[in-house]
């Protein structure tokens, strides 16, 4: 499989999701896989594809705090994108069985990069649980095989498979801002958020996007044995502009 690597500048949430989906379409069309690393232009709460959200969040509080809200194409629970490194992997798939294999492979790329950075990261054991969509935040409890440090979740990931391609993207926390999710929930009973792990806590410093991107690229080379070529954002800009309309539409964001 031919791999490409893409480092994107910070963008708004709708465009970030549109680019991820555009890369997924591209994987199905070209047979190429892409590893993308990016950031967010402003703090953004992303809702899982099937998560109940209508009427659950205080939109005035979100505006006051300067937090945008979008809904992802992937499943899972809500998380706040702010001080983090976000990754996205898209690749062609032939069967549902490849989803689990791809998840394990991507996690290995992430773990290799994190360990090279100096983080003692590992996979969560069998005690981890698979949580259904709900208002509890993504970083509440690690599921089995998710990446943790000291038992606390460091990376939150989600997958979507459609039309012969797979998209997996996720958040690697630089600092734990997930407690801000509580300020947006109307139901205080859902608001207690355990501390998540973060690169800042693990390293005693905050690595920047470029430093982590270099290590992720090196890790991808180590795991695949192939050197990826760069992918310019211009190659997916037209598709991303078309798909962005979905992610700015309230009918999608608040569909349930």
Which residues are marked as active site? 138
Question: Which stretches does DSSP call E strand in the chain?
Answer: 3-7, 33-38, 44-47, 68-71, 79-81, 84-92, 122-123, 147-149, 152-153, 155-162, 165-173, 229-230
Distance in angstroms (rounded) separating the CA atoms of residues 189 and 176:
20
Query: Do the beta carbons of residue 65 and residue 183 sit within 8 Å?
Result: yes
For residue 180, give every residue at least 6 positions away whose Cβ sits within 8 Å of its Cβ, in sequence order, or none: 43, 65, 67, 80, 82
Residue 36, helix vs strand vs coil: strand
Pairing of strands 84-92, 165-173: antiparallel
For residue 26, give every residue at least 6 positions away whose Cβ sits within 8 Å of its Cβ, in sequence order, or none: 32, 34, 90, 235, 236, 239
- β partners of residue 40: 11
Pairing of strands 33-38, 155-162: unpaired
For residue 140, give every residue at least 6 positions away whose Cβ sits within 8 Å of its Cβ, in sequence order, or none: 77, 131, 193, 194
């Amino acid at each position: 499989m031919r791999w490409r690597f893409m480092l994107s500048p910070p963008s708004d949430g709708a465009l970030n999701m549109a680019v991820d989906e555009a890369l997924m379409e591209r994987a199905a069309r070209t047979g190429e896989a892409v590893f993308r690393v990016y950031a967010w232009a402003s703090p953004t709460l992303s809702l899982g594809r099937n998560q109940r959200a209508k009427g659950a969040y205080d939109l005035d509080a979100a505006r006051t705090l300067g937090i945008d809200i979008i809904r992802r194409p992937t499943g899972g629970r809500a998380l706040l994108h702010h001080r983090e490194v976000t990754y996205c992997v898209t690749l062609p798939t032939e069967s549902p069985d490849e989803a689990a294999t791809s998840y394990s492979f991507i996690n290995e790329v992430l773990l290799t990069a994190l360990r090279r950075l100096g983080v003692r990261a590992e996979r969560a054991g069998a005690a981890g649980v698979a949580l259904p969509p709900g208002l509890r935040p993504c970083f509440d409890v690690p599921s089995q095989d998710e990446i943790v440090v000291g038992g606390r979740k460091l990376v939150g990931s989600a997958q979507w498979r459609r039309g012969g391609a797979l998209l997996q993207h996720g958040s690697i926390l630089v600092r734990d801002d997930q407690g801000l999710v509580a300020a947006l929930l109307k139901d205080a009973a859902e608001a207690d958020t355990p501390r998540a792990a973060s690169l800042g806590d693990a390293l005693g410093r905050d690595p920047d996007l470029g430093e982590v991107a270099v290590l992720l690229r090196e890790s991808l080379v180590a795991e695949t044995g192939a050197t990826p070529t760069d992918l310019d954002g211009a190659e997916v800009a037209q598709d991303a502009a078309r798909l962005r309309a979905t992610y700015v539409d309230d009918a999608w964001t608040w569909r349930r």
